[in-house]
Amino acid sequence: MLRVAIGGDHAGFEYKKAILNYLQEQNYDTADFGPYKPESFDYPDSVHPLATAIEAGKYDFGILICGSGNGVCMTANHHQGIRAGLVWNTEIAELIRLHNDANIICLPARFIDLELAIDCVKTFLKTEFEGGRHQRRVDKIAC
């Protein structure tokens, strides 16, 4: 069973709740890193603990959601063991797994609808890393 952590900020709060509900309905092992209410919330307070937990092997994948998806993505990618990708359609969700072995998907709640966000998560979680020539490139990402 895949272990999936989810977090973000206040702009992604409603999407986070809905996606977490979807994951639990699908029997994923989940963890919620906040926010836990819709009031203003600083995304690094969710992203850093989530990324650290993935680096430690506690979770297989992460889902991060903020208004543009950029803040959570930039923050997550400061962690050496993280490959986070900004996604706005299912094709990109597939490619960040297939070619980049991404372990975190970042979603822009203010720019895609909830149904598309869930479809992106589905695609991300079902897609396997292709390896091969892409492995060489992924091996060069960390500093």
pLDDT of residue 69: 98
Query: In whole angstroms, what is the distance from residue 49 CA to residue 32 CA?
Result: 11
| Segment 36-56, tens digit of pLDDT | 999 999 999 999 999 999 999
| Segment 81-125, tens digit of pLDDT | 999 999 999 999 999 999 999 999 999 999 999 999 999 999 999
User: Average pLDDT for residues 53-71, to the nearest whole number?
Assistant: 98
Percent of the chain surpassing pLDDT 70? 100
Q: Which strands make up the sheet holding 104-108, listed edge to edge?
A: 29-32, 3-8, 61-66, 104-108, 84-86
Percent of the chain surpassing pLDDT 90? 90
Q: Which are the contacts of 137, defined by CB distance < 8 A and separation ≥ 6?
A: 99, 100
pLDDT of residue 92: 98
pLDDT of residue 140: 86
User: Average pLDDT for residues 17-33, to the nearest whole number?
Assistant: 98
Model's pTM, two decimal places?
0.97
* Of 52, 41, 47, 67, the residue nearest 7 (C-alpha): 47
Choose the catalytic residue: 66, 73, 106, 120.
66
pLDDT of residue 131: 85
Is the bond leading into 35 cis (omega within 30 degrees of zero)?
yes
* Residue 106 annotated in active site: no
* Residue 78 annotated in active site: no
Choose the catalytic residue: 73, 79, 99, 120.
99
* Tokens of residue 44, six digits: 């690094």
Structural domains in the chain plus CATH codes: 3-139 (3.40.1400.10)
- pLDDT band for position 141 (50/70/90)? confident
